[in-house]
Structure 1
């Protein structure tokens, strides 16, 4: 993902709201992915211990 400079962003209120919504959505997606990864790792651990 490329960096965005604030000078590159139009500060029109509607555009700022849209940009904030996009950032919020990306943060939610990232959080969900991290949670799924953590859940998958926690499910793998008992399987490995039981297989020894």
Structure 2
């Protein structure tokens, strides 16, 4: 089986979107901030700031 990085990245984007939606749907969630593209968080390997 061959994997293409583009396909892998697309799956990751879909997963991040699904996770955000799930967290936002919970009544106890106040806010969800996706920080995947923030270099300060990338250095610390943090993808969500809850």
Query: Normalising by structure 1, what TM-score?
Result: 0.47
Flag the structure with higher helix content. 1
Flag the structure with higher strand content. 2
- Choose between structure 1 and 2 for higher RCO, CA contacts under 8 A separated by at least 6 residues: 2
- Give the greater-gyration-radius structure (CA): 1
